[in-house]
Amino acid sequence: MIFALAGNQNSGKTTLFNHMTGSNQHVGNFPGVTVDQKVGTVIGQKDCEVVDLPGIYSLRPYSDEEIVTRNFLLNERPDGIINIVDATNIERNLYLTLQLLTMQIPTVLALNMMDEVRANGGTIDTKKLSEQLGVPVVPISAIKNEGVQELVRVMVETARRRELPKVHDFCPAGPVHRCIHSVCHIIEDHAQSSRMPARFAATKFIEGDPIVSELLDLHRNDLDAIEHTIVQMEQDCGLDRNAAMADMRYNFIEGVCRECVVKAHESREHKRSVAIDRILTGKYTALPVFALIMLSIFFLTFNVIGKFLSDLLAMGIDGLAMAADRALTAYGLNPVVHSLIIDGVFAGVGGVLSFLPIIVTLFFFLSILEDTGYMARIAFVMDKLLRRIGLSGRSVVPMLIGFGCTVPAVMATRTLSADRDRRLTILLTPFMSCSAKIPIYALFAAAFFARGQAFVMIGLYLFGILIGIVCAKLLNRTAFRGKPVPFVMELPNYRFPSLRSVLQLMWEKAKDFLQRAFTVIFVATLLIWFLQTFDAKLNVVTDSAKSLLAMIGTAIAPALKPVGFGDWRIATALITGFIAKESVVSTLQILLGGAALSSLFTVRSCLSFLVFTLLYTPCVAAVSAVRRELGSGLRALGVVIAQTAVAWIVAFAVYQLLGIWL
């Protein structure tokens, strides 16, 4: 049996899903973290699977999340719906419930966050609620794992007996009632043949839902008759069709809540949140505080904690490499294999590996921001600013994730409901410097700007954002005219970050990085080592400038001469960076063979190189994510070319301008 987990954003779906299946999905105090649907087997019920659907407020067909959820319910016809309802916000949550009830699928209502309701003196009469809604209601607290087993038991029972929701009339006799009934009657046969529940189809049709209308494929006569009925209803109750449907649902919910719910008093958490928000989202304080927080995070990551740990790890790896070198020499291993291990694996993978602590530290801070609920505020605060460049506050989430990795960032754009906003955000996320580039910046900053490392880092990040803004402005004037959709989001209460959640995210990122280091980067490293050790006739070269690699790099190098780094080794490093950005470091490390960076770069060309790596094409993984999300390989290719062109132009400008001073 398959159960769908449906509910509003932030109602605790993922928390419940994790408890039901024993998995470790990321739980966030932020709407829109779960975008893909996730499937798991229910603990103790081997033949039952549960699907964590994206959070939605209504079954409209406008955002991707709504469409994913709707299509799943309509096409897959799960054996049961677990409708999770945030009991602290029951009125708003029931709005979705009423639409789910028209789906004609066995449904159980999971009344979540009951711990909070009780703690603040509220009560909910679940028995009465169950009678009024015509479905079983189980009070739970997902976070404390209370009532979850009972919920599973009731769901399995209900699904086995195929008990459908008993109530689908949400309004008393009157114009709305009449209208829904006659529309139901007219479309019944069509709904059946397109496998849609009649009542769902009828209400959605009245709301002018384009997808339902298309599926129903009604005749001219029927359409006229329905239009006539709807207009009649609009006149009789003095509301337009959408308002009439919403009004019907809210009236019903109001009635239900009057009977079943004793409201909790304002919770301590909420009061505290309002107080904190006065500063963190205050008119004058919000942006300075945001800037300060981000600056401290970068400072702590790149100059203090992360850097210290990275140095420590690098020392360890160096020691190990030296010991291995000595041991292999003593053993008298074949020099080519010796070189593979020391110059290839240790120099390449080891060089990249030592940056792990910086990345983990950065994610430690980012996950705290998310978990406390501050990330949601950032979206709210940034909305006004982003609107000026044609984006909405929602775009800030993918962008912040983009500082970690462009792949999930591009995927997170699915939370943007309008196609225009979504595509524009996808094009702009690569300008948010991803964490794989950190090793490059760190290597160069340490070599050329020993004392001002954090400033170089922050400068690069800001520069990326700046160029992103310029590009957004340009795109907004040309291919992406129009306005972003208005931004509505509920701000969750601030809370103390959960250690588990933070550690989990850090672990995920570390795992991800290690996986890349030992797969993609490892292979890239071996390839580079091979190409630079052998020449075209597969003889071992003594001078790497005669190697296969040098030939490829030399072919490209002239194009990079005007931007200040025409050496074949640098061109090669940039090519490997397309596979994975960290490889730029490992390739340079291998090709330099122990020589200092300053033998290849001056301060001037170092800065133009940093700018170039900041802006040039995203890596293969990111490009394939872009291709998937934009739905076209050609557009993805366009992104690669455009980004590289922007990088070249800007790096050229930087190099020429610096030439005036340096």
Of 32-40, 106-114, 127-135, 588-596: span binding Mg ion (CB under 5 A):
32-40
Number of residues engaging Mg ion in binding (CB under 5 A) = 2
Q: Rounded CA gap, 381 and 293, in Å? A: 14
Q: Rounded CA gap, 658 and 662, in Å? A: 6
CB of 498 to Mg ion, least distance (A): 14
Which residues is 81 bridged to in the sheet? 4, 107
> Other C-beta atoms within 10 Å of 523: how many?
13
3-state secondary structure (DSSP) of residue 104:
coil
DSSP 515: H
Q: Which x/- pattern over 39-58 shows residues binding ligand GDP (rule: CB under 6 A)?
A: ----------------x---
Among 64, 124, 74, 126, CA closest to 99: 74
Residues ≥6 apart with Cβ < 8 Å to 20: 40, 42, 43, 50, 148, 152
CB of 498 to ligand GDP, least distance (A): 7
CB of 238 to ligand GDP, least distance (A): 37
Binders of Mg ion among 43-72, rule CB under 5 A?
A: none
The yes or no reply on residue 493 touching Mg ion (CB under 5 A) is no
Written as six digits, the tokens of 16 are: 């419940």
CB of 372 to ligand GDP, least distance (A): 10
DSSP 631: T
The yes or no reply on residue 415 touching ligand GDP (CB under 6 A) is no
Cβ closer to ligand GDP: 111 or 574?
111
CB of 100 to Mg ion, least distance (A): 18
CB of 143 to Mg ion, least distance (A): 13
Residues ≥6 apart with Cβ < 8 Å to 484: 386, 387, 390, 391, 392, 395, 418, 420, 421
One of 8, 34, 130, 367 touching Mg ion (CB under 5 A): 34
Cβ closer to Mg ion: 14 or 435?
14
Of 112-120, 234-242, 560-568, 624-632: span binding ligand GDP (CB under 6 A):
112-120
Amino acid identity, residue 468?
G
One of 115, 163, 222, 277 touching ligand GDP (CB under 6 A): 115
Query: Mind spelling out the 3-state secondary structure of 125-178?
Result: CHHHHHHHHCCCEEECEHHHCECHHHHHHHHHHHHHCCCCCCCCCCCCCCHHHH
The yes or no reply on residue 141 touching ligand GDP (CB under 6 A) is yes
The yes or no reply on residue 69 touching ligand GDP (CB under 6 A) is no
CB of 589 to ligand GDP, least distance (A): 41
CB of 148 to ligand GDP, least distance (A): 10
Whether 391 and 475 have beta carbons less than 8 Å apart is answered as no
Which residues is 112 bridged to in the sheet? 86
Number of residues engaging ligand GDP in binding (CB under 6 A) = 20
3-state secondary structure (DSSP) of residue 575:
helix
Q: Rounded CA gap, 409 and 626, in Å? A: 10
Interacting partner of 11 out of ligand GDP, Mg ion, none (Cβ under 5 to 8 A depending on kind): ligand GDP
One of 8, 11, 14, 63 touching Mg ion (CB under 5 A): 14
Residues ≥6 apart with Cβ < 8 Å to 589: 347, 348, 351
Q: Which x/- pattern over 7-26 shows residues binding ligand GDP (rule: CB under 6 A)?
A: x-xxxxxxx-----------
Whether 10 and 30 have beta carbons less than 8 Å apart is answered as yes
Residue ranges in contact with Mg ion by CB under 5 A: 14, 34
Residue ranges in contact with ligand GDP by CB under 6 A: 7, 9-15, 27-29, 34, 55, 112-113, 115-116, 141-143
